[in-house]
Amino acid sequence: MNSGSDARRPAWIGLRALRRAPLLGVVIGLLALEAIALWALSAWWVLELLVETPSSMGGALALLALAVIAAVWVSAITVGTLRGRPWIRGAAVTWQLVQIMIAIGCFQGIYARPDVGWALLLPSIVVLVLVFTPRVVSTTSREPEPDVD
């Protein structure tokens, strides 16, 4: 059961909040796409482990675990954004910075993949900018109304 202060907080942000802050819908959409991509990567990684023999099984399993943890984390951020929770801004910024670092790595090295780098970099920059717009901040900053007895 919810505590008294959480009982009045709506479970999901409403259409009214999305009308007031339409950029929040873009943030939600991009976070959802990132979560879906991470779940797809995790599923692909499991399939690859079943059909191929990795050079390091421990390394492959560690990377799979990291991909699943990231998928769970970004999924939680997406749900938190749908609920308009204040903590999502810090979590979203942290994930976008991690994603930017991965994108930078995709632009360099022997196995450089600039296409993957751009696919990671552009949504990250968009989310970083949008999460700090005044309307998104105000929509995700609302504290639950105190109990009136």
Predicted local distance difference test score (pLDDT) of residue 147:
43
Predicted local distance difference test score (pLDDT) of residue 144:
47
Would you say residue 43 lies in a domain? yes
Would you say residue 27 lies in a domain? yes
Predicted local distance difference test score (pLDDT) of residue 11:
61
- Residue 8, token pair as written in the block: 């009045």
Predicted local distance difference test score (pLDDT) of residue 84:
81
Total domains in the fold of the chain: 1
Would you say residue 51 lies in a domain? yes
Q: Is 125 exposed, middle or buried (0-12, 13-18, 19+ CB in 10 A)?
A: middle
User: What would the pLDDT profile of 92-112 be if each residue is shown by its tens digit?
Assistant: 999 999 999 999 999 998 889
> Which DSSP symbol is given to 52?
S
Predicted local distance difference test score (pLDDT) of residue 10:
55
pTM for this structure? 0.81
Would you say residue 105 lies in a domain? yes
Range of the domain at 95: 20-139
Q: Which residues of the chain have pLDDT under 50?
A: 1-7, 144-147, 149
Would you say residue 14 lies in a domain? no
